[in-house]
Amino acid sequence: MSLSMERFDLVVVGAGISGLSTAYHVKVDNPDMRICIVDRNPTYAQGNTARSDAAFRDVFTSKINYEMSSSSISFYRHIQFDLGFNLGMHFNGYLFLLGKEKMNSPVIKELSKTVDSKLIGKEEIKELGFITEPDREAARMMNLDEIEGGFIGKNCGIMEPDLLAAYYYSELEKMGAEFRFNTNITRLNLQPKEKLDYPGEPFIWQDKYIESVIGGGTELKAEQFFLATDVWTGPLVEPLGIDPLIQPKKVQVFQVSGPGIEMMIGKGYDSDHSIFPFTILPSPSIDLRPDPKSKSFWVSYSEKIGRSYGLEENPVADNDFYSGNLYPVLREYVPVFIESKVSSSWAGYYSMNNLDGSYVLFREMNLSILTGSSGSGIMKADSAGRLASALISGKEYAQLYSGHKITVSDLGIKNRNVDRETLII
């Protein structure tokens, strides 16, 4: 049997966290299904999964995002603490630093009710090492808000997505799923169900399906296909007239080290915690992700206006971006950055659904597609996998690890039923 004749029940394109989670849940529910996960990289989790901010939160304004993230976090907690498979999870919290207007906004009031959280005042924020009143001239020039208070999400923190990927991968291996790495799928092979061998097929009046996926010298046939190709979904589906419904937004991450930062990293938001919370500055909303291993902060920012949408072959972070855009702000709010240096940097992409900020999960023919994680894919990956698995299996509902049920078509196009997420960082 030549390589090109291989046939599976399901081919998953993309061995990032979404593809792995989905394949895992499909395989758990359908042990006899022959599943192949194909990826262009030499192993799993080498795309945006490896380039993320590596944090989790359940602080979302939309119900669906809250349910998906809080259930996923519970499942990850179960893996790490019940099953003993370390995911590098720390519940060090998410600290949103807020100006006066946001501090008193209905969003914060509502979130205080729905998520496990606490509000802190200026004094506590100062004790954590921040300046709440930036220098007047700098504040004017850079539109910096005075920090009025902070919102701490408690069921939030940092984790290592590659370890989560390793968990799903090892379970998939045990269950007999097949992996095909170094295989860059570049084409979905659309064919009529009943071939007539006329030139110009498939015609508009023919029922169509994806017969195979092709690329890197390989052709994989399957009953069903699932794209977990994140920001690279467009180039695969647009030639077929399928809209990926997302834009790729580049996100740069800078690892910044220094003596003051090293001290700060070890300080929790209260005496029960010994790692600094993941922090979002008020405006511009720069993120600080503490990395206990390297004793540094990962500094990142996803630009609102000014950075082009689109894909580069090898996205890299630009140190001039750090020095011109991020450092001047950090210096004003977090004085330990004054004696610090960028020790490493990288860049990845967010798959942005700019219309409502939630996942889009839909099916065309025998092709299921998940896109639009919009910068919070890691923390929802388990729930997304359960939903995608339900779609692939033709189920109406997905039951999350939390027990909460979500109608699969709520995340689809035709019967889409999600409230717009306002807390996109």
Residues that bind a copy of itself (CB under 8 A): 141-144, 190, 194, 196, 198-200, 202-208, 238-243, 245, 247, 249, 284, 301, 303-310, 320-321, 324-326, 328-329, 352, 354-356, 360, 364-365, 413-414, 416, 420, 422
Residue 327: phi, psi to the nearest 5? Answer: -60, -45
Nearer to a copy of itself, 119 or 240 (CB): 240
Residue 51: phi, psi to the nearest 5? Answer: -110, 10
Nearer to a copy of itself, 24 or 322 (CB): 322
Nearer to a copy of itself, 109 or 304 (CB): 304
Helix 381-392 and helix 63-77: axis angle, to 10°? Answer: 100
Q: What residue has token string 């977990």?
A: 228
**Torsion region of 357: left, alpha or beta (phi above 0 gives left; psi -120 to 50 gives alpha):** left
Residue 172: phi, psi to the nearest 5? Answer: -65, -40
Provide, rounded to whole angstroms, the least separation between the CB of residue 42 and a copy of itself: 31
Q: Say how many CA atoms lie within 13 Å of 209 toward its Cβ.
A: 11
Q: Which string of DSSP letters, residue by residue, matches 9-66?
A: EEEEE--SHHHHHHHHHHHHH-TT--EEEE-SSSSSS-SGGGGS--EE----SSHHHH
Nearer to a copy of itself, 328 or 335 (CB): 328
Provide, rounded to whole angstroms, the least separation between the CB of residue 204 and a copy of itself: 5
Which residues share a beta bridge with 288?
279, 299
Alpha-carbon span 231 to 1, nearest angstrom:
34
Nearer to a copy of itself, 176 or 239 (CB): 239
Provide, rounded to whole angstroms, the least separation between the CB of residue 419 and a copy of itself: 11
Provide, rounded to whole angstroms, the least separation between the CB of residue 136 and a copy of itself: 15
Provide, rounded to whole angstroms, the least separation between the CB of residue 84 and a copy of itself: 42
Provide, rounded to whole angstroms, the least separation between the CB of residue 321 and a copy of itself: 8
Provide, rounded to whole angstroms, the least separation between the CB of residue 298 and a copy of itself: 17
Nearer to a copy of itself, 63 or 416 (CB): 416
Provide, rounded to whole angstroms, the least separation between the CB of residue 119 and a copy of itself: 25
Provide, rounded to whole angstroms, the least separation between the CB of residue 423 and a copy of itself: 13
First to last CA, the chain: 49
Alpha-carbon span 277 to 173, nearest angstrom:
35
Nearer to a copy of itself, 129 or 284 (CB): 284
Nearer to a copy of itself, 144 or 165 (CB): 144
94-98 β-sheet, strand order: 117-120, 149-153, 94-98, 278-280, 287-291, 296-301, 247-257, 341-352
Q: Which string of DSSP letters, residue by residue, matches 93-154?
A: -EEEEE-HHHHTSHHHHHHHHHSSEEEE-HHHHHHTT--SS--HHHHHHHTPPPP-EEEEES
Nearer to a copy of itself, 167 or 350 (CB): 350
Residues in the chain: 425
Residue 35: phi, psi to the nearest 5? Answer: -115, 135
* DSSP summary character for residue 272: T
Query: ∠ CA 31-35-40 to the nearest 5 degrees?
Result: 150
Provide, rounded to whole angstroms, the least separation between the CB of residue 371 and a copy of itself: 12
Other CB atoms within 10 Å distance of the CB of residue 396:
10
Nearer to a copy of itself, 112 or 319 (CB): 319
